[in-house]
Amino acid sequence: MTAVLSLRDVGIRYSPDPRAPLAVRNVTLDVRQGETLGLVGESGSGKSSLAAAMAGLLPRQATTVGQVQFDGQDMAAMDARAQRRLRGAKIATIAQDPFTSLNPVVRIGRQLVEFQHWRTDLNATARWRRAVEMLARVGLSDPDIRMKQFPHQLSGGIRQRVAIAAALLVNPRLLIADEPTTALDATTEDQIIELIRAARAQIEGAVVFITHDMGVVRRLCDKMAVLYAGELVEAGPVDQVFADPRHPYTRALLACDPAGIEEPSRNLPTIPGVVPPPGALPPGCIFAPRCPAARAVCQTEKPPRLPVAPGRAAACHLIEATA
């Protein structure tokens, strides 16, 4: 089966200068129809940069190496107009802050109607009715009233539901959700996660969910990919990675998940140190300066990405030592 989304050795630099450091390096992964991929890692790991590359939304000064394919089509080979058509009809995104996707001076109804401009088989009245039905489907009361309101008149949770409704109106082949619950309270976050879980049944394609919350990945995703400092360090089925993480960074992330803390404590677990910037990467394994299991070889040689099970891979010298 052809992957809905396929990345091959993808790298991203935020400069047209080929000498500038890559913010994302050598990322290879596939997302197939019916799958939900969780993309996880700390802030600065390259998650949002990779999401922008998937949707063709990198800024003009950015350059991409490698290949991003959507339904077998090389997105780099498309001109800007073809990429816009793709985003309008087949690729949809849900941002951290819905204000970035909703026009603050245009009423909700008009925006949801205009989001359906590609539906040439529907007139304006049918598009309006379809938008009202979608608002009701994502759990908004009084959808007719919401259609006449401006974004600033809605709470953060309701705005995010509107953004999800807008994305689902596209009937996307690929839905990219970039930390859509970051700015929400715990109760609203739980509601939005359940809403996205239910929405997967309406998507005849794939979902990429970007988050730093491992608990969300466990609840929502089938596969996961762990990014650190712009590199893919581990990937595989969620249940297998959670049960037996093979990369020290993955183990550290799981240990920091508050859901795994069994006894009351005043201190939350953390990973010592910080994510290195693209221009100051260590010479060997990028995680070595923070890794409690690092050996001498980790300081000088980059580990290869090795298969550890069917559908699983990780980049760590410790895997070579135990193979």
pLDDT digit string, tens, across residues 50-102: 999 999 899 989 999 999 999 999 988 888 888 888 887 899 998 887 777 78
Closest by CA to 180, choosing from 70, 55, 96, 56, is 96
pLDDT digit string, tens, across residues 177-231: 998 887 777 888 888 888 888 888 778 899 999 998 888 899 899 999 999 999 9
pLDDT digit string, tens, across residues 23-53: 999 999 999 999 999 999 999 899 999 999 9
- Alpha-carbon distance 234 to 276, whole Å? 18
Straight-line distance from the first to the last Cα atom of the chain, in angstroms, rounded to the nearest whole number: 30
- Alpha-carbon distance 74 to 84, whole Å? 14
Q: In the chain, what are the domain boundaries?
A: 101-169
Provide the 3-class DSSP secondary structure of residue 62.
Answer: coil
Closest by CA to 287, choosing from 245, 257, 259, is 245
Rg (CA), the chain: 21
Closest by CA to 3, choosing from 152, 173, 135, 164, is 173
pTM: 0.91
Task: Tell me the one-letter amino acid at 160.
Answer: Q
CB of 136 within 8 A of CB of 143? yes
- Alpha-carbon distance 251 to 247, whole Å? 6
Q: Which residues of 66-84 are buried (b: 16+ CB within 10 A; e: fewer)?
A: bebbbbeeebeeeeeeebe
pLDDT digit string, tens, across residues 137-163: 988 999 999 999 999 999 888 998 999
- Alpha-carbon distance 97 to 50, whole Å? 18
